[in-house]
Amino acid sequence: MAEYSSLLSDLSENITNEDLEQLKSACKEDIPEDQSNNITSSKEWFSYLEKNDKLAQDNLSYLEHIFEISRRPDLLTRVIEYRTTVLKISEDDEIDTKLTRIPSAKKYKGNTHTHTHTHTHTHTNTQA
């Protein structure tokens, strides 16, 4: 898909070596350190993510997550534009489930199961 290649090229042009280190650091749980050290360009990084099923032309949620936690709204915006214009997946479809579609976030949600959100203050005393 030409748009996808074009998106990755566009992103690559806007990722410096310093940025790349930050992005690799943001996904260190998913890239073993020895392999991470071998990634020296953003193209190699994208290629690694694709080989490991973290990135595909119709699956950019992991990339969005990494750009989000790396505080790169400029890159995130480009990915969201691609998703909404090329893939036709709008924010409305995505917004509530965005985190649950990201493998690393799902992993955390799956491990916690503490149900902290269910303990709202419902034990208010109703007696006067």
Q: Could you tell me if residue 118 is inside a domain?
A: no
In which band, very low, low, confident or very high, does the pLDDT at 2 lie, cut at 50, 70 and 90? Answer: confident
What average pLDDT does the segment 45-50 reach?
A: 96
Is residue 81 within 8 A of residue 72, CB to CB? The reply is no
pLDDT of 117 reads: 42
pLDDT of 81 reads: 92
CATH number for position 85 = 1.10.533.10
Owning domain of residue 7: 2-107
Q: Could you tell me if residue 6 is inside a domain?
A: yes
Q: Could you tell me if residue 102 is inside a domain?
A: yes
Q: Could you tell me if residue 114 is inside a domain?
A: no
Could you give the CA distance from residue 4 to residue 83 in angstroms, rounded to a whole number? 10
Chain-wide mean pLDDT for the chain?
Answer: 78
Position with higher pLDDT, 88 vs 29: 29
pLDDT of 44 reads: 96
pLDDT of 90 reads: 67
What's the domain count of the chain?
A: 1
Q: Could you tell me if residue 116 is inside a domain?
A: no
